[in-house]
Chain A
Amino acid sequence: MFAEELKAFRRLGVRGVLVQLLNFASVIASGLMMWKGLGLLTNTESPIVVVLSGSMEPAFYRGDLLFLTNPPNVPYQTGDITVYKVPGSPIPIVHRILETRGIVRNAPKSAIAQDVADGQKSAVLRAVEGQEVEQLLLTKGDNNPIDDVDLYNGLDWLERRHVVGKVRGFLPYIGYVTIAMNDHPNLKYLLLGVLGLFALIQRE
């Protein structure tokens, strides 16, 4: 059955095979460019995420797709749905902001200039000239009875730098494929195998 495909390969020659690989690589590269470009536009490392848990039901179910933005230097508000990552825990969590507070940090002028340059991670609200206010957040999942403090790995409040972005848009069901593949890794290998086979067999 593969004799015909192998013959086609031999006809292509080394350069032919290399050109195929180059096509393959350029498809992957442009996909990666678009993803990273979108990340730059929205100022977040992960502009599109899939909902993994049921803690935001009935709004978000497992497998829904969320579109995030992270506007720099704009304070987050209560009611915003944020995706955040607690240090020490690799899984991002999608929950709604329950409280916003702030603490004042007295900072000399040079330090402020430094912070603004480093810029994107900490949202700085100017309370008084010469002082900075750092935002502190408390979150809670709509479907959870209590707030998230137990999830913060020792912290009492989330800081702006822990937040990946806030949810602006929503698309249902589409992400279910990624969840199915995570729950059944054999599916992932099967899909990759089939795609690889097709990529090799097709000549266009």
Chain B
Amino acid sequence: MHSLYARLNNFSAFLSSCLMGLLAAIALSSFLFTAEPKGELTLASVKVFPGSSRRMPTVKQEFTFVNFNISADLTPLFHWNTKQLFVYLQAEYVDSKGVQNDVVLWDSIIRRKQDAVLNIAGRNKYVFRDLSRSFRNAQAANYTLRYNLMPYVGVLTYGEAGRTSEPVPFPEPETVS
């Protein structure tokens, strides 16, 4: 502490320790916020169309199109350590081989508390297809609305904000003439 350099050195070392402690405290404070908001998810329509795979145009494949309605108030999830909310709608079903499949159909990033009240009528953003190229023998699907809370510092958390009340079966493919 006898010279400028010594004092500056000592200060910055202790500053780093305090800063680390502060960041740890902020990360831990996230656990105090335990909101689990619930919303509603309903499907307007589910249709299956035959088509061809976009990468191999000669290969026939079935695609499912889903129109859905979401209403949810996710504002309780926004606290001082919430950087953004990643909201996604997924279809969970057991396919014809008996294997569990989860497919994300739509997602959205919410960065501000004002934008966290969702009232959306949407359709799937992403292509919904099956490994076996057909939905014929797939079991009925459950559709869920989930979110991922991403903090400024700390642990990422996940939650479910809504679910269709009963499994929705896949209809027969429409015939396109």
Contact = CB atoms under 8 A, between A and B. Distances in A.
Interface residues of A, number: 29
A53 interface: no
B98 A127 contact: yes
Contact of B84 (A59, A78, A101, A104): A59
B104 A98 contact: yes
Nearest to B99: A102
Interface of B: 23, 27, 55, 83-84, 86, 88, 90, 95, 97-104, 107, 109, 111, 126, 131, 146, 148, 150-156, 158
A127 B151 CA distance: 36
B99 A99 contact: no
A133 interface: yes
Contacts of A88: none
Interface stretch (A3-11, A14-22, A31-39, A169-177): A169-177
A103 B151 contact: no
B83 A59 contact: yes
B158 A79 contact: yes
A168 B101 contact: no
Contacts of B148: 79, 81
A148 interface: no
A128 B126 contact: no
